[in-house]
Each structure stands twice: as structure tokens, then as C-alpha cells.
Amino acid sequence: MEQEPKFIDYIEQSIIRNWDRNALTDYKGITLQYKDVARKIAKFHIVFERAGIRPGDKIAVCGRNSAHWGVVFLATVTYGAVIVPILHEFKADNIHNIVNHSEAKLLFVGDAIWENLNEESMPRLTGILLLNDFSCVVCRDPQAQEAYEHRNVLYGERYPKNFRPEHICYRKEQRPDELAVINYTSGTTGYSKGVMLPYISLWSNVAYCHEMLPVRPGDRMVSMLPLGHVFGMVYDFLYGFSAGAHLFFLTRMPSPKIIAQSFAEIRPRVISSVPLIVEKIIKKDILPRIDNTIGKLLLRMPLINDRIKNEARRKAMEIFGGNFDEIIIGGAPFNADVERFLKYIGFPYTIAYGMTECGPIICSSRWDKLKLASCGKAASRMEVRIDSPQPGEVAGEIVCRGTNLMLGYYKNPEATAQIIDVNGWLHTGDLGTMDSEGNVTVRGRSKNMLLTASGQNIYPEEIESRLNNMPYVAESLIVLQKEKLVALIYPDFDDAFAHGLEQADIEKAMEANRQELNLQLPAYSQIAKVKIHFEEFEKTAKKSIKRFMYQEIKG
């Protein structure tokens, strides 16, 4: 019988076992060992006590990935307070709203973000501290102010003979279903809801990582997904820390150039990424380096000899540091042709499917067992089914239940009742199929599905996946306008201009793409028109396009 799970045990035991190992590094910046993290946690626990923070109180953190972000998270959950991670990409008014809605007592914030905030818009906060040096820039409680200013003295008084591993004894959660995290997710629906994740969800997701991923104490990992999003928070940070790994935070936008530079130096063991980053690197840095003419053909007809295949694999591995067991790809749909190419050359990738409400994992399988175009099988301690009379052939909504599930949406029982039914099944809003072996294939979002005048169901993601592989296309959206399918395209202007194309040439190239794409599509899903966008589509933190912003374009 499985022992009652304790998420905090993962943190406590990892600190004790890895006391003298490197833990958290800001790339080109500070490094904290596990003992340094433990000491900072101890100081914050003293400050929280003196500041009147009680278990269950909310503490918000908003900033780019950093070692200090990690310290705040760990100090909060090991104290028994509720952490409220806020994506640093959110606008000031959204940050104000989240801080107020969550009833946070403290806010830890990056200095660049703080410049755009207004403390008067967050009246319930007792303190605001900067993440870079933990200085207190707003304090509305004299007792808390004194604790912040004298934390080193207070720490010395409590631990006069140095802080040692035997001092590590964190508050254990009273119940597995006790609230640990409120994660506000701003998705393609355009507004934020506070997802309440209990300790048992964190434990189950981290336990799944331990079951599936080959990370050992001292292994290096790179955290490039935003820690404010649950995918990066669990797969990179919480799993890596609990495994005794050495985590590197890029502290900047993970462009292909930054990735190539940092990964060559860090040589990470396991990598987590959203599809967009992998797709850009494969298309821009791998295929052209093989041979530009061959590269353009590989995505559609990967019938190449072993020499070229091995060379493609070697270069693809090299650009990600050359030392990893696998890349975990999740957070958004993966381009089907890029995936087929990676599988063909033997590149070790794994698809993870989930959502914030499951903290995040629903389905995943390791790359050596992953069925092409699927997202694998249900994760441990999760049940998954397809709401369809023929789940292997006719797409239906993907529904799931199990240990990973959220408690509900914070202060929003109506929204909770809409997504979790009376039998405990969470309705994902995604459409998919499941084969006889349990492999789940996601077709698209049910709310994205387009219904034509002829009654045909169109899954725009499937068309976009093909279109995005065509010449000079950076990204695209398929929308329904006046009963016709229209392709909104943001061209790869850099590539086009590098090949001598001018504006009129780009327009002709997009029209040629439309005609070629229609040759591959059935009559009911033909693209009637192309419209060029001159700026990238706005995206969520996990790099999904905010579709709702482009549905009502007229003309």
C-alpha cells in the first residue's frame, strides 16, 4: 500500500542529502548551494513569523526565472503559506488584480516589473520586496519592517552555532488536499482564473517525473520555461530540486541564439520546452545546415540515407548541449511534420500533454515508447477517457480525473462546476481520440473547432501545422470569415528578405502556399484567402496564440 504522500518531504530530504552541492544558478550570475537555499529559507521563516504571516496566508511572486524566485517559492510552501506565482509577462493591471483577488499579504517582485506597478492599487499587501536583493520597498507594518531589516541578527540568535542539516524540519502539510499553490493562468480565453493546486497534486506530478525522467543528484538542468507557469514550475524547478540537480536559470528570453550559447556551456541532462522553441531551432538551425535544398524536403519526405540522417541527429543533439537524455515538449500542439522528422532521425523527444488544472500532467510517454502524433498514455494516478461513442475513430472531449487534479478555481465555484462534473471528471475542452492501447491523440480545442456551412468540422490546428512548414511562413491562424476559411499568416520576413524577396514577392509566395496547401486538403477545408500580418500574433506564456483576438477580423 502506498505511503501517504508528503510533498514537503521531497524538498526537505533533497536539501539534507545534497547539502554541499550546487542548487540554483542564475546563468552568468549567482550560484546558491543547497545549504545556501536552506539558510535563506530559515531566514524567511523567521521573517514570516515576526511579520504575522500564518499558514494558509498568500504570498505572491512575480519576476523572471531566477535563484531568488526559487528561494521565495520554497520558503513559502515549506512554511505552510500559499504561493501565488504570477507570470512576469502580465500587464500591471492584471498583476494588481491577481494580488488583490488572491488576498496576498506579501509580494516579491522583479525590479523591472516593480517600476510599472502601483502599490496604491494593492492596498491589502503588508509588504513588497524586490527579488534581486530582497530589499523591502513598501512596508505597511512596523513589526514586519523591523523583521526585514534585522533578519540576519534574528537568524544568528536562533542558530548561534551555525545552521546545519539537522535543523531542517519543515512544517508537514496537515492534509494532502491542503492548498499549496494558486496559479493564475491567462489562456486563450483572455482572462485569468486562480487554479488551486493542493500538495497532493504537486507530489503526484513530481513523483511522476521521478518515475519517468533520468535525473540524478548533481545533474544539470536548464529552466527556460517561465516558473510562473505550472509546466516549468514542476518539470524544471520542483522536479530538478527534489532530484538534487543543479538548476540553471537563463533569466532572459530563450532565443535560439541564447539556447545554443548557454546549452553548449551547461550541457543539461533533461530539457523542457514549448514546441515553438524546438520548431524554430529545427527549421532555422538544423535543416539549413544539412543542405538548404534537402532541408526543405525533409519535413515532407524524410526518405534520406543513413549518413544524412545521422548527421542531422548529431547536429540537433549538439545545439541542445549534446548531453541530454530527452527533451520534454509540452504546453501547446507540436508541429506534426517536425515531430515526424525528429522521430525519423532518432532524436529523443517526449510529448507531455496537460493543463494547469492538473498541475499539469495528464498524458505522456517516453520517446522510445511514444506513438507518432500522440501524447502518450495517461500518467500515473490519472484516468483518461474520450467522451465519444467510438473513441478510437470519432473525436470527443478528453476528460480526466485522479490525484493531479486541482481543488477548483479560487473564489469561483461556478467556473469550477463547469469544468469538473459531479463524478469528479475534469472536462479539458480538448478534442481527441484514443487507440486500443491507450495512446491519446489531441485533435484540437473544442472551442477552436470551426463548423462550415456544409456542416463539416474543421480542426484549424491540423491545417496550421502544414501551413507553418511552407516557404517563408513563420506562424499562421485559420479562421472562418463569411463562411469561408481564411489563413492569417505572419511571414518569416528575415528569411524572405535574405532571399531577396520584396513585399509583392512575399504576397505571391503566400498565395502559392495557399494553392499548394489546397492540393493536400479535402474540398470542405479549402483555404479561400490569405491575409498577411506584419506583426507576430499575441501569445500566452506557454506560447499559444491568443486566438480570441483574431476571430472577429473583418474584411
Provide the 8-state DSSP code for 506. H
Confidence check: pLDDT of 184 > 80 = yes
**Higher pLDDT pick, 375 / 452:** 375
Instruction: Write out pLDDT tens, residues 482-526.
Output: 888 999 999 999 999 999 999 999 999 999 999 999 998 878 889
* Three-state DSSP state, 316: helix
User: What CATH number does domain 7-238 carry, 3.40.50.12780, 1.20.1730.10, 3.40.50.2000, 3.40.50.620?
Assistant: 3.40.50.12780
Instruction: Write out pLDDT tens, residues 438-479.
Output: 999 998 887 787 877 666 778 788 899 889 989 999 999 999
Contact 368, 392 (CB under 8 A): no
**Mean pLDDT computed over every residue of the chain:** 90
Helices 151-158 and 34-50: crossing angle, nearest 10°?
A: 100
Helices 7-17 and 199-212: crossing angle, nearest 10°?
A: 50
b/e sequence 318-357, b meaning 16+ C-beta within 10 Å: ebbbebbbbbbbbbbbbbbbbbebbbbbebbbbbbbbbbb
Instruction: Write out pLDDT tens, residues 151-166.
Output: 999 999 999 989 999 9
Identify the band that residue 553 occupies on the pLDDT scale cut at 50, 70 and 90.
Answer: very low
Closest CA to 371 of 336, 402, 403: 336
Q: Chain-centre distance of CA 342, in angstroms?
A: 21
**Higher pLDDT pick, 288 / 388:** 388
Contact 38, 20 (CB under 8 A): no
Tell me what pLDDT residue 186 has: 60
Least confident span in 69-73, 99-103, 535-539:
535-539
Task: Measure the N-to-C terminal CA separation of the chain; round to a whole number of Å.
Answer: 63
User: What CATH number does domain 459-549 carry, 3.30.70.2520, 3.30.70.1230, 1.20.1260.10, 3.30.300.30?
Assistant: 3.30.300.30
The residue written with cell numbers 518539470 in the block is 235
* CATH fold for the domain made of 251-445: Rossmann fold (3.40.50)
Tell me what pLDDT residue 102 has: 96
Its pTM stands at: 0.85
- State how far the Cα of 323 lies from the Cα of 433, in Å rounded to an integer: 35
Domain ranges of the chain: 7-238, 251-445, 459-549
Report residue 427 as a C-alpha cell.
472536462
Contact 371, 161 (CB under 8 A): no
- State how far the Cα of 419 lies from the Cα of 342, in Å rounded to an integer: 35
- State how far the Cα of 504 lies from the Cα of 492, in Å rounded to an integer: 14
Order across the sheet with 246-249: list the strands. Answer: 31-33, 22-26, 246-249, 220-223, 270-273, 326-330, 349-354, 361-364, 377-378
> Residue 358 phi/psi, 5° resolution?
-115, 10
Q: Do domains 251-445 and 459-549 have the same CATH topology?
A: no
